[in-house]
């Protein structure tokens, strides 16, 4: 009898557990069904961009409440039943790390005719061979340049400490193999990181044997363009020369002393003064406000940077960059000057390291503007403008920060928008996208 009661308790516990686990799948299906309903156009077609925007907007929002615990859409996707590619479809992708580009980089893009010919031969041989590309390359190089050492190609400044002119071909091939393996491992890590952010349910990312190919399975994914853009995106690495703390700290100390003295002079009761100075970057100050803001180094070449500036006053040669980079500096400056609630003070230098530097073109725009609509005119001057006449009350719009919402009221160049999960916000129409 006791055993029978124990079996019943165990069965009930198992049923409750299975129902609990299956509930995540039911909730996930209902949310995806709702996303389809929201994104279905009048002609019956589905706006995949609108569907994905809705799912992204609830990714970190609580959507399933069990009373004792709340779960976000992300939690639900992690716990739902995994059907795999066979049952629910999805995407299957094979990517390959190019060993040719790695070898070219190690050779500092050497244009030696025999070297380039060997690479071409190795590439052709790779189609019918399972050998490592480095071995195929070495065989081809011995055929095209018999008796010549690899060190004549790979001994350069970039490989200092790894390859010298005295290095043997075997040692150089080991370095090449290591670089190729490291590149494949880095690619695996980058792909896993990107796909984790994408939100795919239990993706399968693995290397195919000892080859340079990477297999990716994404169950349930139905937006090929978005996945292609995610996987083929190119990272941008920049190196910036920065000041050492001992170089800029005296200036910060002077600013601190100046502001302290100025505050003391403006108060009658010195004993009640509470000094509170916050040193921060423009990026870190987003969302914060201060009674008084002091901006330092407001010079051409710093904001906007030399590479991004549109001004003709900079004495340095500017590199070609995309308009997006320059527009990003415009937005940063806008963020900086709008952190001040009552008082804004701007400081710039006339000389730096014995070189003459000029005032930022953004600050000059402030001095040239005498009306009270400076912020609006500044953004119009430096950023491309949308046609805001397309917006009407009742339109569904999207904002990168707040998600999807409905326009309740339009006044001049701004609107009151009721966002589904963030409530009512006053927004500039330029920062909204009509769905």
As to burial, measured by CB atoms within 10 angstroms (0-12 exposed, 13-18 middle, 19+ buried), residue 187 is: middle
Class of domain 245-382: alpha beta
**Predicted confidence (pLDDT) at residue 325 exceeds the cutoff of 60:** yes
**Predicted confidence (pLDDT) at residue 391 exceeds the cutoff of 50:** yes
As to burial, measured by CB atoms within 10 angstroms (0-12 exposed, 13-18 middle, 19+ buried), residue 114 is: middle
> Does residue 426 have a cis bond before it (omega within 30 degrees)?
no
> What is the predicted pLDDT for the residue at 393?
92
Confidence of residue 315 (pLDDT cuts 50, 70, 90): very low
Of residues 154 and 87, which shows the higher confidence score? 154
Of residues 268 and 120, which shows the higher confidence score? 120
Confidence of residue 233 (pLDDT cuts 50, 70, 90): low
Reported as a single tens digit per residue, the pLDDT across 87-107 is 556 777 888 888 888 888 888
Would you state the structure tokens that stand for residue 69, as one six-digit string? 């615990």
Helix pair 48-57, 2-39: axis angle to 10 deg: 130
Arithmetic mean of pLDDT, 12-23 = 80
Reported as a single tens digit per residue, the pLDDT across 26-76 is 887 788 788 878 888 878 777 777 777 777 788 788 888 887 888 887 777
> What is the predicted pLDDT for the residue at 407?
92
Of residues 403 and 112, which shows the higher confidence score? 112
Length reported for the chain:
435
**Predicted confidence (pLDDT) at residue 317 exceeds the cutoff of 60:** no
> What is the predicted pLDDT for the residue at 406?
92
Of residues 254 and 5, which shows the higher confidence score? 254
Q: Global pTM?
A: 0.40
Q: Give the N- to C-terminal CA distance of the chain in Å, as an integer.
A: 65
Paired strand residues for 405: 397, 419
Reported as a single tens digit per residue, the pLDDT across 190-230 is 887 777 766 566 677 888 877 788 888 777 666 677 777 77
Confidence of residue 289 (pLDDT cuts 50, 70, 90): confident
3-state secondary structure the chain: CHHHHHHHHHHHHHHHHHHHHHHHHHHHHHHHHHHHHHHECCCCCECHHHHHHHHHHCCCCEEEECCCCEEEHHHHHHHCCCCHHHHHCEEEEEEECCHHHHHHHHCCCCCCHHHHHHHHHHHHHHCCCCCCHHHHHHHHHHHHCCCCCCHHHHCCHHHCCCCCCCCCHHHHHHHHHHHHHHHHHHHHHHHHHHHHHHCCCCCEEEECCCCCEEEEEEECCCCHHHHHHHHHCCCCCCCCCCCCHHHHHHHHHHHHHHHHHHHHHCCCCHHHCCCCCCCCCCHHHCCCCEEEEEECCCECEECCECCCCCCCCCCCCCCCCCHHHHHHHHHHHHHHHCCEEEEEEECCCCEECCEECCECHHHHHHHHCCCCCHHHHHHHHHCCCCCHHHCCCCCEEEECCCEEEEEEEEECCEEEEEECCCEEEEEEHHHCEEC
Give the whole-angstrom CA distance, residue 297 versus residue 295.
7
Of residues 396 and 223, which shows the higher confidence score? 396
Q: Are 219 and 84 in contact (CB under 8 A)?
A: yes
Percent of the chain with pLDDT over 70: 79
> What is the predicted pLDDT for the residue at 205?
82
The closest alpha carbon to 190, from 142, 131, 231, belongs to: 231
> What is the predicted pLDDT for the residue at 305?
75
Give the whole-angstrom CA distance, residue 156 versus residue 397.
55
CA-only gyration radius of the chain, Å: 30
Confidence of residue 312 (pLDDT cuts 50, 70, 90): very low
Confidence of residue 14 (pLDDT cuts 50, 70, 90): confident
> What is the predicted pLDDT for the residue at 346?
86
Q: Mean pLDDT score of the chain, rounded to an integer?
A: 77
**Predicted confidence (pLDDT) at residue 287 exceeds the cutoff of 70:** no
Output the CATH code of domain 388-434: 2.30.30.140
**Predicted confidence (pLDDT) at residue 399 exceeds the cutoff of 60:** yes
**Predicted confidence (pLDDT) at residue 370 exceeds the cutoff of 50:** no
Percent of the chain with pLDDT over 90: 2
* Domain boundaries along the sequence of the chain: 2-81, 95-232, 245-382, 388-434
Asked if the domains at 245-382 and 388-434 fall in one CATH topology, the answer is no
Paired strand residues for 398: 404, 433
Confidence of residue 79 (pLDDT cuts 50, 70, 90): confident
Give the whole-angstrom CA distance, residue 333 versus residue 360.
10
C-alpha distances (whole Å) from 157 to each of 69, 106, 115, 154, 164 are 58, 10, 18, 9, 9
Residue holding tokens 């987003």?
Answer: 286
**Predicted confidence (pLDDT) at residue 323 exceeds the cutoff of 90:** no
Paired strand residues for 219: 90
C-alpha distances (whole Å) from 324 to each of 48, 173, 308, 383, 431 are 25, 42, 9, 9, 15
């Amino acid at each position: 009898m006791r055993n029978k009661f124990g079996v019943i308790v165990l069965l009930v516990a198992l049923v409750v557990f299975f129902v609990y686990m299956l509930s995540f799948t039911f909730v996930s299906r209902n949310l995806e069904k709702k996303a389809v309903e929201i994104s279905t156009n009048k002609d019956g077609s589905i706006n995949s961009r609108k569907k994905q925007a809705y799912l992204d907007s609830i990714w970190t929002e609580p959507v399933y409440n069990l009373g004792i615990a709340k779960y976000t859409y992300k939690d639900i996707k992690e716990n739902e039943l995994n059907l795999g590619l066979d049952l629910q479809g999805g995407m299957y992708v094979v990517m390959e790390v190019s060993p040719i580009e790695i070898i070219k980089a190690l050779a500092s893009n050497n244009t030696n005719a025999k070297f380039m010919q060997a690479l071409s031969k190795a590439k052709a041989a790779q189609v019918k061979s399972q050998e490592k590309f480095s071995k195929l390359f070495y065989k081809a190089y011995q055929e095209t340049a018999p008796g010549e050492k690899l060190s004549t190609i790979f001994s350069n400044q970039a490989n200092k400490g790894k390859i010298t002119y005295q290095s043997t071909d075997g040692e150089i091939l080991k370095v090449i193999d290591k670089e190729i393996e490291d590149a494949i491992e880095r690619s695996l890590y980058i792909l896993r990181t990107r796909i984790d952010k994408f939100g795919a349910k239990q993706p399968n990312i693995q290397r195919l044997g000892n080859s340079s190919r990477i297999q990716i399975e994404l169950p349930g994914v139905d937006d090929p363009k978005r996945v292609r853009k995610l996987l083929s995106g190119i990272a941008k690495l920049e190196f910036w020369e920065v000041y050492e703390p001992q170089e800029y700290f005296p200036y910060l100390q002077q600013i601190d002393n100046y502001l302290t003295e100025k505050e003391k002079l403006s108060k009658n009761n010195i004993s009640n003064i509470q000094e509170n100075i916050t040193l921060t970057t423009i990026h870190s100050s987003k969302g914060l406000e201060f009674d008084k803001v002091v901006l330092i180094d407001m010079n051409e070449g710093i904001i906007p940077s030399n590479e991004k500036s549109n001004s003709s006053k900079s004495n340095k040669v500017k590199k070609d960059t995309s308009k997006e980079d320059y527009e990003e500096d415009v937005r940063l400056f806008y963020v900086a000057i709008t952190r001040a609630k009552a008082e804004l003070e701007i400081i710039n230098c006339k000389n730096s390291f014995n070189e003459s530097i000029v005032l930022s073109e953004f600050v000059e725009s402030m001095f040239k503007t005498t009306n009270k609509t400076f912020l609006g005119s500044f953004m119009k001057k430096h950023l491309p403008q949308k046609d805001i006449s397309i917006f009407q009350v009742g339109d569904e719009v999207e904002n990168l920060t707040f998600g999807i919402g409905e326009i309740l009221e339009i006044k001049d160049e701004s609107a009151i928008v009721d966002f589904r999960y963030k409530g009512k916000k006053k927004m500039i129409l330029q920062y909204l996208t009509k769905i």
